Amino acid sequence: MALLFIAKDPNTNGTQCPTAWVDDEAQEIVVQGWKAGEALLAECRQSGPIPDSEAVVRLPIRMVPAIRWNHFTGDGGSAGPEVDERVGAVKLCAAAFEAVWDRATPHEEYRV
């Protein structure tokens, strides 16, 4: 298995965080989330059974941008979302984001 790290929930402590990866070989998104409680499981089961080989986990809505493509115009406006199932595209965007982030100026140090 070759996991590519995508994102960690930025609003948690950095060690016990909801996290998303892409499994390049299996062509799957892998998530770590908060365990579902009995009330949520009961509500989910109203749509059908949950097999023993599957689990229900929670991810905060703030992680959606990490697992969904959003495009922006040159002036900062939104050009709308895109769905792309190609793992290569996910890998390319994740690598580009990390490369840019590594070169970014921390917010507290940025000056105009």
Q: Provide CB contacts within 8 A for 72, sequence distance 6+.
A: 78, 79
- Cα(50)–Cα(42) distance, rounded to whole angstroms? 10
Residue 10 sits at the vertex; the CA angle it makes with 7 and 16, to the nearest 5 degrees, is 80
Using one digit for the tens of pLDDT, what is the confidence trace for 15-54?
778 888 877 777 777 888 989 999 999 999 999 999 999 9
Say what the pLDDT of residue 15 is: 75
What's the pLDDT tens digit per position in 77-89? 666 666 665 666 7
Per-residue H/E/C for the chain: CCEEEEEECCCCCCCCCCEEEEECCCCEEEEECEECCHHHHHHHHCCCCCCCCCCCEECCHHHHHHHCEEEECCCCCEEEEECCCCHHHHHHHHHHHHHHHHHCCCHHHCCC
**pTM of the shown model:** 0.55
Quickly state the pLDDT bin for 102 (edges 50, 70, 90): confident
